[in-house]
Amino acid sequence: MEDSSRKKGLLEWFASNHVAANLLMLLIISAGLLTVFTIKLEFFPEFSLDIITVSVPYLGASPTDVEEG
């Protein structure tokens, strides 16, 4: 016997209410399409980098000699 006073879960409710499920799907798809056309997209965004790396070969020198110059 089924208990008719049992609370339905959200998934069960959408399974029994096809119109509500389809309206929710339509709302989600519409919101996604609206977002796709209004989002700002940059393929090569500009950015600044505040790091400089200098690499110079100093053959035959120890790390101390290189550091002191």
Amino acid, res. 24: L
Distance, CA of 39 to CA of 33 (rounded, Å): 10
pLDDT in tens, 7-16: 778 889 888 9
What are 14-63's pLDDT values in tens digits? Answer: 889 899 999 999 999 999 999 988 888 878 888 888 898 888 788 888 88
- The predicted model scores a pTM of 0.48
Structure tokens at 12: 């069960």
